[in-house]
Structure 1
């Protein structure tokens, strides 16, 4: 191990001489070099200081598409993903550092899409810098009143895959599906800034379908939608759907149009808006959510799962409708929205939500 670390240390030192020079002198890595560099970080064959410098240097230099593809391939090669016993699976990837401005609803969306015939997985972690916001794991554990099925590594991932197929929805944690990436959290906490990993970890697909896997995520800043779709296309994913939502989350707006970007079956990239007004929904003003806390969001989730009407239910159903339409479970947004509302009002979504809460 000591010899590996020394060899990796020397290799990373050579890489840093190229990428950590400054705005004018830094050189880009090829895809293969980027994959190797990220592998050195994940395998801890570079020192903690080198890893921190590398992540910051790349962010200041700005990662190229080729570098991001290499980084993501290194992440995928070391993930403990699995294939669920079903044909199609959607993976919902919200920012791992959580939220603190408005509530978000990915697990509710997953319960709805699962109840409508598309097994859906939410992945995340307990806490991540730099935001250290409310995470889906925080909420699911609070909702359940106990710890959920996390901490058994690959066995937890396999059980989540079974729950997704049998119940329609499941959660899987970075701690289990990517322990090497999770082990870098302390370094990320020290560097404070958001590295490329903050974008790429959302794009790991921990649980795949036998025939098709749909990657669903979000973006905020202009241009990131192009970058993310191209990275995923180059990494071989055939179905991608991105939402331009608040804080980079996947939730559709309940009061105004939401921009989508993606591609289906390796087809051309599309970009379009979906609007609640097209479904006859016309909220007069943005929702007033109040202060965001684990308790307040759990209460909001309960109301949605009980079929109560309001902005949270509209956002959940509209997001689910967009996913169901993209995955060709439904022929139109209108059909998808109708099915989503029925899943909520009938209690089928609440039943699917139980897939998240197993011990």
Structure 2
């Protein structure tokens, strides 16, 4: 048993009226003790559920991210025409709506904007479709690659994916607790804000519940991330909805710009979101979309791709971003870029 962790657990788990907010330093120590395995399983599980009930504060999440920065992987800066976009997505995937994110990442990377993604395998408690499975279905396997290979692939292709089991085994060791406690722990919120890139970038934080946006603002400001964007997206992802208003917060050192966008204003609206009917059907349709065939995924690709092409600075307006996304889907640049990524992975896997 860790006596130091026991003292931290007492602070967060002593009840509604007597529990205390950890300082940033204490939160960092708690995360380090969990990630290192010095805290016992009983202590870790108790901390996760107690902290979930108490609700984490921004200063505590900042401390957790300090531990991630110290113990976790970080991609080093690369030369590019645009700041990188680091997407924070729920690790437990999607189960109700069709993801647009892989199409968005390919559009950005093929256009010269670096993209950093991170996640794990199928994960409790939702067990939704994870990013790594989607990439594998289109012929890009990010697993079983060392961090040095990911860095080189990122430099060559402007796309990098950090896979929790391969690149952050300490964080992966905490995943089973999600199933055992039956709830998402505060670490699930942390993952939306984690920035494992040391260069000029903008963090994209997806969320469902409005308080999460406030947590992100306080947390990222505390750790010195100057530019980040919050998106009230589909299933907590960065995917913009089409059936309702897309609510976006652009956070810079000079303040917050609030965008409320409607897909219907660009002839891309719908009465309901594109469903994830079956994973096999979605993956097959995704491949058809990449090969230029007309599919029901085109509209979400145009809406999301258009927004992020504009937001990254590649196009000067949203309308032009949508036009650029349409051109990318109709041409062969995305399939060509997939081949470039495949070749880079093959080269560094065999090195």
Question: Does the 8 A contact of 1:124 with 1:136 survive in 2?
Answer: yes
1:198 to 188, 209, 219: 188
Please give the secondary structure, in 2, of the residue aligned with 1:353.
helix
Q: Give the equivalent residue in structure 1 for 2:310.
A: 325
Change over 3 Å in CA distance of 1:353–1:207 after alignment to 2: farther
Question: Does the 8 A contact of 2:118 with 2:161 survive in 1?
Answer: yes
Q: Give the equivalent residue in structure 2 for 1:92.
A: 87
Question: Does the 8 A contact of 2:288 with 2:295 survive in 1?
Answer: no
> Structure 1: where are the runs of 5+ without partners?
1-5
The 2-side partners of 1:310 and 1:149 are apart by: 26
**237-246 vs 50-59, greater mean Cα deviation:** 237-246
Q: Give the equivalent residue in structure 2 for 1:50.
A: 43
For 1:208-239, what per-residue CA distance to the aligned partner results, in whole angstroms no more than 9, with x for missing partners? Answer: 43xx1121131001221122122112212222
Q: Which runs of 4 or more aligned residues in structure 1 lie more than 6 Å from their structure 2 counterparts after TM superposition?
A: none
Change over 3 Å in CA distance of 1:89–1:282 after alignment to 2: closer
1:310 CA drift (Å): 4.8
For 1:34-92, what per-residue CA distance to the aligned partner results, in whole angstroms no more than 9, with x for missing partners? Answer: 11111111111111110111111111011111111111221222111121432432122
TM-score by length of 1: 0.88
The 2-side partners of 1:56 and 1:29 are apart by: 15
Between the two structures, name the one with larger relative contact order (CA 8 Å, sep ≥ 6): 1
Please give the secondary structure, in 2, of the residue aligned with 1:103.
coil
Q: Does 1:123 align with 2:118?
A: yes
Please give the secondary structure, in 1, of the residue aligned with 2:283.
helix
**121-130 vs 315-324, greater mean Cα deviation:** 315-324
Q: Give the equivalent residue in structure 1 for 2:268.
A: 281
Q: Give the equivalent residue in structure 1 for 2:61.
A: 68
Question: Does the 8 A contact of 2:95 with 2:276 survive in 1?
Answer: no
Question: Does the 8 A contact of 1:106 with 1:122 survive in 2?
Answer: no
Give the alignment of 1:171-186 within 5 angstroms.
171-186=161-176
Q: Give the equivalent residue in structure 2 for 1:114.
A: 109
Change over 3 Å in CA distance of 1:351–1:207 after alignment to 2: farther
Q: Give the equivalent residue in structure 1 for 2:11.
A: 18
Q: Does 1:170 align with 2:160?
A: yes
1:225 to 192, 213, 219: 213
Change over 3 Å in CA distance of 1:224–1:85 after alignment to 2: same
**19-28 vs 53-62, greater mean Cα deviation:** 19-28
Please give the secondary structure, in 2, of the residue aligned with 1:82.
coil
The 1-side partners of 2:5 and 2:275 are apart by: 47
Change over 3 Å in CA distance of 1:217–1:312 after alignment to 2: farther
Please give the secondary structure, in 1, of the residue aligned with 2:255.
coil
Q: Does 1:334 align with 2:319?
A: yes
1:163 CA drift (Å): 2.4
Aligned length: 342
The 2-side partners of 1:312 and 1:262 are apart by: 26
Please give the secondary structure, in 2, of the residue aligned with 1:23.
coil
Please give the secondary structure, in 2, of the residue aligned with 1:269.
strand
> Structure 2: where are the runs of 5+ without partners?
347-351
Please give the secondary structure, in 1, of the residue aligned with 2:205.
strand
The 2-side partners of 1:162 and 1:336 are apart by: 29
Please give the secondary structure, in 2, of the residue aligned with 1:202.
coil
Change over 3 Å in CA distance of 1:149–1:36 after alignment to 2: same
The 2-side partners of 1:245 and 1:288 are apart by: 13
Please give the secondary structure, in 2, of the residue aligned with 1:199.
helix
Please give the secondary structure, in 1, of the residue aligned with 2:56.
coil
1:159 CA drift (Å): 2.2
1:282 CA drift (Å): 4.3
Change over 3 Å in CA distance of 1:55–1:342 after alignment to 2: same
Report the RMSD for the aligned CA atoms in angstroms. 2.1
